[in-house]
Structure 1
Amino acid sequence: MHLGCVTYNVLKDLDLEGIIKLLETTGFEAVELRTEHKHGIEPTISAEERVKVKARFAQSKVRLVSYGTTCEFQSPDPAVRRKNIDLAKKWIELAHDTGAWAVKVRPNGLPAGVPTETTLRTIGESLREIGVYGEGYGVEIWMEVHGRDTQNPPNAAAILKAANHRNVGACWNSNPTDVVNGSVKQSFELLKPYLRSAHINELANADYPWRELFTLMKQANYDRYTLCECAESKDPERFLRYYRALWLELTR
C-alpha cells in the first residue's frame, strides 16, 4: 500500500513543478491531478505539452496516477450523458499521452422522479462505454464513491455490477456512509471486488475507523495507492509531513 495525494485541495494552488517538488520533499509517492486547479493540465493542452508532462513525471519520484475529473452520468437526459461520456474519452486520451494510470469519474446523486434502479443502471452503462474506450488506451476507469445516495456502498456496488467491465473499478472515498455500527467492514466487503484506488481524508477524525480500513486493505492484498484528499493548509509542507507520519502509524 502506498501514499499519494489528490490536488483537491491541499495542492490546488501549486503549479506542476511545485506539486512534484512538495510531494518529493514530503515522501508522497503519487498524485491525482484534479481538474480546474492551478497545474492547468486539462484535455485542451497541446501534444507538445503532453510530452513535457510525461517527461517531467518520468524524471521525478512521483507517479502521475490519475486525473480527477467531474464527469458524471446520472442525468436522465441522454444529451447530457453523451457530453460527459465524450469529455471522459478526452481525459482518457490525455491520460494515455501523459502516462497516467487512470481517469477518475463520479456519480453525483440520484435525480428526482427517476427510479433508483434506472439511474444506477444508466450510470453503469455509461461507465462500461468509457471502460471499453479506456481499455483501448491502457487507461483504467475509477468510479469515485460519491454523491448523495450514490455514495451509499450498496448503490455504488450496484453501479459497478451494472458496468460489468474489467477496466472499471471503484475509488473508495472514505465517506461517513461507509460506517455501520462503528465499522467499515460491511461496506468494504461490498466494494472490495472492485477496489482500484482510495481517497482518504482527515486521518485525525476519530469517527472514522482508519486503522480497520487499512487492515482490511492489507488483508485484501491491496497494493495500490491511498490518496490524501484534504482541505488546503497555510503550510502544506508541514501538514503533509504530519499526515504521512500519521498514515505510517495507522498502516503499520
Structure 2
Amino acid sequence: MKLGMVTYNLGRDWDLETLIAHCEETGFAGVELRTTHAHGVEVSLSSTERAEVKRRFADSAVELVGLGSAFEYDAVDPEVLRSHIDGTKEYVRLAHDLGVGGVKVRPNNVHVDEGIPIEQTLEQIGVSLRECGEFARDLGVQIRLEVHGRTTSGPANIRKILDYADHDNVFVCWNSNATDLVDGSIDDSFTSLQEAIALVHITELWSDYPWERLFTLLRQSGYAGYCLAEIPESPDPLRLMRYYRALWQALARG
C-alpha cells in the first residue's frame, strides 16, 4: 500500500507547485485533487494547460491518483440529475487528458421526507453510475463511489447501489466512517465491499476507528493501492505530514 493525500482540506490552499513540493518533501506518494481548491485543475483548463499539468506530475515523484468531484445522483429534479451525470462525463474527459486513473463521485441524500422510498433513490443512483461507468470505461477512467452521506454511507446501502449499477467500471472509495462498524467491527462491512474497493480515504489516525484492522483487511485482500489522508489544515503542514506518515507506516505495517 502507498500513502497519499486528498487536498480536502490539508492542501486546499496550495497551488500545484506547492502541493507537489510538500508531498515530495514528506514522502506522500500521491494526491487526489478535490475540485474548487487552489490547485486549479478543473474542466475549464485548455488542452495545452491539461498537457502541462500532466507533465508536471510526470516529472515529479508524486502520482496524480484521482480527481475528487462532488457529483451526486439523488436529485428529484430530472434536469438536476442530468446535469450531474453530464458534469461527471466532463470530469472523466479531464481525467483522461491528465492520465488519471479515476474520478471520485458520491451518493449524498435520500428523499424519504418528500415521499420517495429510499430504495428508489438508491436505484436511481446506481443506474446513473452505470451510465457514467460505461462512458468512463471507454476512456480508461474508473468511477469511484465514495462511501458518503448521512444515510447512504451505510455499507449495506452502498452495496445496494453497486448492485443496481451492475457495472465493472464502478468502484468504491472506502471512506473510513463510523458507519462501517457493526457491533464494534468493520469486518462485515469490509467484506461486503472489498471486491469493489479501488481507493481508500483515511482520516485522523489518533481516532478510535480500528485502523490496524482496516490495514490488515486491506493487506489480506491484496489491496496495493493508495490510502489517502483526508485531514484538516495545519499551521505547520510539513511537520504534520511527516508525523502522519510515520504513524501510518507503523499501523499499516502489521
Letter in 2 for 1:197: L
Structure 1 residues not aligned, in runs of 5+: none
**Equivalent residue number for residue 65 of structure 1:** 65
Q: Identity rate of aligned residues, in percent?
A: 52
Aligned to 1:212: 213
Please state if 1:33 is matched with 2:33: yes
Partner of 1:232: 233
Partner of 2:166: 164
Correspondences of 1:144-223 after superposition (within 5 Å): 144-205=146-207, 207-223=208-224
Structure-2 residue corresponding to 1:7:
7
* Gap runs ≥5 in structure 2: none
Q: What are the superposed Cα offsets for residues 121-143 of structure 1, whole Å, 9 maximum, x if unpaired?
A: 10000000010010111000000
Q: Classify the secondary structure of the residue corresponding to 1:40.
A: coil
Give 1:25 deviation, angstroms: 0.5
* Cα distance between partner residues in 2 of 1:132 and 1:176: 31
SS at match of 1:74: coil
CA-atom RMSD in angstroms: 0.7
1:83 aligned partner: 83
Cα distance, 1:161 vs structure 2:
1.1
Distance between the aligned counterparts of 1:21 and 1:34, measured in 2? 18
Note the C-alpha offset of 1:181: 2.3
Q: How many residues align?
A: 251
Q: Which residue of the partner structure matches residue 44 of structure 1?
A: 44
Moved more, 34-43 or 175-184: 175-184
Q: Deviations over 1:91-124 (max 9, x none)?
A: 0000000111100000112123211111101000
CA distance in 1, matches of 2:198, 2:230: 16
Runs of 4+ in 1 over 6 A off after TM superposition: none
CA distance in 2, matches of 1:143, 1:37: 20
Corresponding residue to 1:116 among 99, 102, 118:
118
Distance 2:221 2:82 in 1: 36
Distance in 1, matches of 2:137 and 2:107, equals: 20
* C-alpha distance in structure 1 between counterparts of 2:3 and 2:116, whole Å: 39
Report the residue type matching 1:114 in the other structure: I
- In 1: Cα distance, 2:76 partner to 2:159 partner: 20
Separation in structure 2 between the aligned mates of residue 167 and residue 17 of structure 1, nearest angstrom: 32
| Most deviating of 231-240 and 176-185 | 176-185
Q: Distance in 2 between matches of 1:238 and 1:130?
A: 39
SS in 1 for 2:206: coil
